[in-house]
Amino acid sequence: MSAETLSVTVCDATLRDGSHAVAHQFTAEQVRAVVGGLDDAGVPVIEVSHGDGLGGSSLTYGRSGSDELELIEAAVQTAERARIAVLLLPGIGTKDDLRAARERGAQVVRVATHCTEADISPQHIALAGELGYTPIGFLMMAHMNSPEGLAEQAAIMAAAGAEAVYVTDSAGALVPDGVSARVAALRERLGDEVAIGFHGHQNMELGVANSIAAVRAGARWVDTCTCGLGAGAGNTPTGAFVAAAERSGIATGIDLFEALEVAETTVRPLMRRPQIADRGALLLGYAGVYSSFLLHAERAAERFGVPVEEILLECGRRKTVGGQEDWIIEIAAELASRSEVVA
């Protein structure tokens, strides 16, 4: 297929991955404003839920400021063309959460597991199909599995009924060659019946380059966030990706100037901090650490008086994965006690 004929479905995850960056404090009013702007820009899929998915509001992952079902309902009521998506991590979200979100009008669900644990997803993917969702598989921390291993995991999700499966670079640890290899492996294993997606982070400032590489290798879904608002250094910025895709002969169906308008007037004022690859964020990618760990690590660093980079590097050495946020406190405490012994 030539570059001129490539097209992708963009899912803007500002109101889900961006939830991490605002400590899960989005309001219904903010959701309506963002969804309205993205819908006007022609974004086809918009994800809304707690940063850690349905049911994520907790002491471990962070309490939501608003009931996520109310946020989902507000998004559905606002969108005139876009479909509203939600994220579910089995073990955090439940089947009842899936049903409740569907009752509020959510149409797409991404069922996410660690990249070696797809076998916990089939019951949720199957139920999603029964409920009338477009079910999508999400293989997180994709850098921690080989292309061939990731393809086998994707096959489990596809067999359960997933209409697309994502190579999810949760740590922003992949470089373009690694993305291409994984997408190509999934493409070869799954054939043309199941679409491939890519979800990138900016921890090593490769979100746009990785996303373009993914499309070149056969991905047909790409995740972005407006202003890059997301965990760690943020996600592939919607405006930058749309612009780069247009220059690369890849059709998104999104009006670049409308996307930039909602970025500047609606999303940027919501940002609590710049989405940049500073030292801590860059080390997330370098060490291969889950992007949402950054704020947890910064709080632990302040509490125990140890450098945040030491915490992140130790998390990488221990191969921590999403869902192990409580381990960060233990790691920080251990590092602090070692420092005391040395002193």
Binding site for Mn(2+): what residues are annotated?
17, 199, 201
Active site residue 143: no
> Cα separations (Å) of 244 from 157, 209, 237, 266, 274?
30, 9, 11, 22, 22
Question: Per the annotation, where are the binding residues for substrate?
Answer: 16-17, 170, 199, 290
- Beta carbons within 8 Å of 302's beta carbon, 6+ residues apart: none
First-last CA distance in the chain? 62
Angle at 86 between CA 81 and CA 90, to 5 degrees: 160
What six digits make up the tokens of 53? 């998915």
Sign of torsion over alpha carbons 113, 114, 116, 117: negative
> Cα separations (Å) of 97 from 69, 76, 126, 162, 269?
9, 16, 14, 18, 31
User: Taking Cα atoms as reference points, which of 228, 207, 220 lies closest to residue 250?
Assistant: 220
- Bin 77: left if φ > 0, else alpha if -120 < ψ < 50, else beta: alpha
Question: Per the annotation, where are the binding residues?
Answer: 16-17, 170, 199, 201, 290
What six digits make up the tokens of 242? 């749309």
> Cα separations (Å) of 230 from 123, 132, 234, 268?
28, 28, 4, 12
Q: Which of 20, 24, 114, 143 is an active site residue?
A: 20
C-alpha to C-alpha distance for 279 and 288, rounded to whole angstroms: 14
The conformation of residue 143, written as its DSSP 8-state character, comes to G
User: Would you please indicate which residues are annotated as catalytic (active-site) residues?
Assistant: 20
